Amino acid sequence: MRKLFRKLAVTITAIAMVGVVGFSASVVAGGSDLEKGKKLAFNKKKGNCLACHTMTGGDMGGNIAPPLIAMKARFPDIAVLKTQIEDARIKNPASFMPPFKPHGILTDKEINQVVKFVHSL
């Protein structure tokens, strides 16, 4: 009887784990570019924009760089924003901002998603 319970417990745990993994995978895979961009911007190992910039929706944003707000007014041309995110050294060679594109911190696809999100703020 006890053996049966143990087997049952193992099976249930296994099913639960598959479920969780499957679910989180679908969360990562799904969603619009805007949502993906937001995740990348908050992720410490990816964009990590929150480390230096405060923005709506993110906790404990840093104050090293300007808050990301009214972005459409500040960057009417989204291409200018994209260049800034890709390589901030073009405008300011001493910039503290990591060169996301030339240093391969984010892929082109990821940069496009981050740009879409940041422009929406």
Partner 1 sequence: MKITMTATIAALAFSLMPFTAIQASPADDVKAFQGYFTNKYKDTKLDDYVNGIYSIDPASRKQWVEIEEFPPYELVVENGEELWNKPFANGKGFKDCFKGDIADMRAKYPHHDDKSDTIVTLESDINKCRTDNGEKAYGWKKGKIAAVSAYVAYQGRGKDIAVKLPSSEKELAWYNKGKTFFYAKRGQLNMACADCHIYNSGNFIRADKLGPALGHPSHFPVYRSKWGSMGTLHRRYAGCNKNIRAKPFKAQSDEYKALEYFQTIMSNGLKWNGPGARK
Q: Which of 55, 61, 81, 121 binds partner 1 (CB under 8 A)?
A: 61
Q: Which of 31, 33, 46, 52 binds partner 1 (CB under 8 A)?
A: 52
Closest listed residue to residue 44, CA positions, set 67, 60, 23, 28? 60
Q: How far is CA 47 from CA 13, 21, 34, 58, 93, in A?
A: 34, 24, 14, 13, 20
Query: Residue 50 interacts with partner 1 (CB under 8 A)?
Result: yes
With contacts defined by CB under 8 A, name the span among 1-9, 14-22, 31-39, 47-55 that binds partner 1.
47-55
- What single DSSP character describes residue 89? G
Closest listed residue to residue 115, CA positions, set 74, 86, 76? 86
Query: Residue 101 interacts with partner 1 (CB under 8 A)?
Result: no
Query: Residue 76 interacts with partner 1 (CB under 8 A)?
Result: no
Applying CB under 8 A, which residues contact partner 1? 50-52, 60-64, 89, 96, 98-99, 103-105
